[in-house]
Amino acid sequence: MITGEQVIKFFEACKNGRCLNQLHSLTIKTGFKLDTFFAAKLIDLYSRFTPVETTRKLFDETPHRTVYIWNSILKCYCRDKQYKETLSLFSHLFLSEKPDLYTISIVLKACAALKALNHGKIVHGFVRKSAQINRDLFVGSALIELYSKCGEIDDALCVFEEIPEPDTVLWTTMISGYEQNGEPIQALEFFARMVIAKGVLIDSITLISVVSACAQMFDLKAGRSIHGYMTRMGFESGLSLLNALLNLYGKTGSIHAAANMFEKMPERDVISWGSMMACYAHNGCAREALDLFDEMVARGIDPNAVILISALQACEATCNLQGGKQIHKLAIKKGLDLDILISTALIDVYMNCFSPDEAIEVFDEMPERDAVCFSAILHGCVENGRAGKSIGIFREILANGFQPDAFDVVKILTACSELGVFQQTSCVHGFTIKGGLADNSFLGASLIESYAKCGSLDGAIAVFRQIIDRDVVIWSSMLAAYGFHGKGQEALQLFNQMIKHSAVRPNEVSFLSILSACSHAGLVKQGIKIFNMMVKDYGLTPNSKHYGILVDLLGRIGELEKAMGFIGQIQEPVEANIWGALLNSCRIYQNMEIGEIAAQKVFDLNPCHAGHYILLSNMYADEKRWDNAAEVRKFVREKQLKKFSGESVIEIRDEVCSFIANDRSHQDSKQILELLCILEGR
């Protein structure tokens, strides 16, 4: 017969899990009936050292189950993150046994992890009925955790306030609750309360949350003073705490402080490496982030999803497609490629590296999608000239019940403008009104631009008129809208209305719009007057785009030398099209001298643009310098330069057709007519 004392000794020996099998076989061999104490001990040991299934088997074989035994199996499932199973077992337990403090704290933990607030509230109700459970600190901390994980931090505070003498863990749970719920100021205020509270010790876990709160606020000053406090109180060690500090310095852009800390750390884990990488990646040192990633892998540290995301962001920032692809492969190898955050990071990398097809492939394979990844693919498609695809994505966003934000709508309007699709623009307009986004000024400006670019000046005017509170962005976009349509006089009228009858002061963009409108409409004198107004009356500094238009305007009235003089004043690198505009004017006024200078500049800046060579060739021809003309044309032939063709778009029902407006346009029109016939026949 085995004595109780022997059993206890055996359990002591089993604490490392090694003698577990012997213990179990002993129970079977000796025919020792599992009394409840013994069974409970055994299940508890099994739950620590064996897979859940094995423990479950033992549990199922145990005939008489005490609360202690139930608790062991509940803890086992909870530790294995099988929270739903934990709750389902709890409901079974409830039928036969009365849960104790320990049961309740496990169940509350499962509710918190599942964010099952209603379920948790029922358990809370049960807690309140028992005075003993209600004053238990462990249950209290589980309740606070439940409410704070479910975003109900006020309810968490209510629980906390009811506890007469909260201990360090309870205080810390509250502080971290505020921090996790994006309320770092309250977290620090709570910490201040904790510091002056009597008889409560602050430990390193408390400080982790406090430091994180400082990091969340990007408050280096507060962080430094906490660091100072830590030094005074002797909290200079602890990996997690050092990691939190590393993150603080990283978030506040103190690269040196972070790198210094990282170097001096006695030990580092994945989080240390991840924090340091994120610090580099977010502070414009993407190269260093990737170097660190390589070093980490070389040292045999296994990168997790967070690390891969940081590495992908570093690739994105440096347009490192090769690196991105390598990390993609690694993610596939680790089975992380379908993770929603990894997939989103991959989409961002591919889109930023001008590889929309790869990004779309990643997107198509995602098993589940959230609003963030939809935005990523939408923005990426628009940026990469996949306007048609982006409209499909936008429909998918709506079909999946996600609410696009103003940024998404601005992007989709860019796509509409690019395609020139009036009906789509009009639909999106309707959506902005329904979605309550009509107040957004950037969205209003996008709508104006979109309508104008889709050929509906009336639509643009209607949007403009409906906006009561017009800011400079709205005014500028309306000026630009008149400009697109060659309505120079209307643009000038609007500009006068803006500067005389509104409180809005035109900025650089407004001037660019009005100057461009003048240029398109051939209002040369007015344009030059407005340019002078911009510099003298408004004290704004023109950039190369403003100068470009001025050069064009001066060129039109033959002030070629003056125009060239202005080009000399441009501070930034001069774009090819500015010299191109001057070259064009030189042809009109037959000024070969300046024309040759402009041509040389334009060829240097953009050697592949056939149109500029043809222009020069025509100038030589005008002067009857046939040899020079032929020479230029021969050059174009030899280099196989082609003139870019203009492209037109029409919208038939919901099909978008584009055709190229060159000598083949006849064929294209025929195709469109055929398409029309098919559609009509439907």
Which residues bind to DNA, rule: CB under 7 A?
A: 36-37, 40-41, 44, 66-68, 71, 100-103, 105, 109, 136-142, 145, 167-170, 172-173, 176, 179-180, 203, 205-206, 208-209, 212, 215, 239-241, 243-244, 247, 250-251, 269-271, 274-275, 278, 282, 304-307, 309-310, 313, 341, 344-345, 372
At residue 659, the 3 state secondary structure works out as: strand
CA distance 220 to 227: 10
Nearer to DNA, 72 or 450 (CB): 72
Q: Which of 189, 184, 191 is nearest to 219 (CA)?
A: 184
Instruction: Work out how close the CB of 270 gets to DNA at its nearest, in angstroms, rounded to a whole number.
Output: 6
Q: Which is nearer to DNA, 40 or 382 (CB)?
A: 40
To DNA, the closest distance from the beta carbon of 411 in angstroms equals 16
Nearer to DNA, 170 or 445 (CB): 170
Q: What is the 3-state secondary structure (H, E, C) of 499-558?
A: HHHCCCCCCHHHHHHHHHHHHHHCCHHHHHHHHHHHHHCCCCCCCHHHHHHHHHHHHHCC
Q: What angle separates helix 610-622 from helix 592-605, to the nearest 10 degrees?
A: 160
Longest dimension (CA), the chain: 122
- Judged by beta carbon, residue 275 or residue 414, the one nearer DNA is 275
Name which of 48 and 625 has its Cβ closer to DNA. Answer: 48
Cβ distance to DNA smaller for residue 140 or 444: 140
Amino acid sitting at position 344: T
CB of 101 to DNA, least distance (A): 5
For CA atoms 443, 449, 453, 457, give the dihedral sign: positive
In the complex, minimum distance from the CB of residue 268 to DNA, in angstroms, rounded to a whole number: 10
- Contact yes or no for 506/473 (Cβ under 8 A): no
Q: 569: buried, middle or exposed (CB in 10 Å: 19+, 13-18, 0-12)?
A: exposed
Min separation Cβ 215 and DNA, Å? 6
Query: Smallest gap, in angstroms, from Cβ of residue 103 to DNA?
Result: 6
Report how far residue 281's alpha carbon sits from residue 262's, in angstroms, rounded to the nearest whole number.
Answer: 15
Nearest approach in angstroms of CB 230 to DNA is 14
To DNA, the closest distance from the beta carbon of 409 in angstroms equals 19
| Residue number, 404 or 595, with CB nearest to DNA | 404
Confirm if 248 and 217 have CB atoms less than 8 A apart.
Answer: no
Helices 4-14, 20-29: crossing angle, 10 deg rounding:
150
Task: Give which of 636, 659, 637 is closest to 648, Cα–Cα.
Answer: 659
C-beta closer to DNA: residue 274 or 324: 274
Helix or strand or coil: residue 648? strand
Comparing CB distances to DNA, the nearer of 179 and 418 is: 179
- The radius of gyration of the chain's CA atoms, rounded to the nearest angstrom, is 35
Nearer to DNA, 66 or 618 (CB): 66
484/448 Cα distance (integer angstroms): 11
Bridge partners, residue 647, by sequence: 660
Q: Give the residue carrying structure tokens 């470009």.
A: 548
Smallest separation (angstroms) from DNA to the CB of 618: 53
Least Cβ distance, residue 413 to DNA (angstroms):
23
Residue with smaller CB distance to DNA, 273 or 482? 273
Indicate the SS3 state at residue 656.
strand
**Dist. CA 410–CA 450, nearest whole Å:** 10
CA distance 210 to 231: 14
Place of tokens 């989709």: 412
CA gap 482, 79 in Å, rounded: 66
Measuring CA to CA, which residue among 601, 533, 606, 531 is closest to residue 564? 601
Least distance between DNA and beta carbon 38 (Å):
9
Minimum CB–partner distance for residue 493 and DNA (Å): 45
Considering beta carbons, is residue 63 or 646 the nearer one to DNA?
Answer: 63
Nearest distance from C-beta of residue 395 to DNA, angstroms: 23
- Closest to DNA by CB, 230 or 452: 230
Alpha-carbon span 248 to 494, nearest angstrom: 50
For DNA, the closer of residues 171 and 531 by Cβ is 171
Contacts for 541 with CB less than 8 Å, ≥ 6 apart: 508, 535
* Token output for 413: 């309007």
Nearest residue to 455 via CA among 429, 476, 485:
485
d(CA 411, CA 423): 16
Q: How far is the CB of 176 from DNA (least distance, A)?
A: 4
Could you give the CA distance from residue 595 to residue 586 in angstroms, rounded to a whole number? Answer: 5
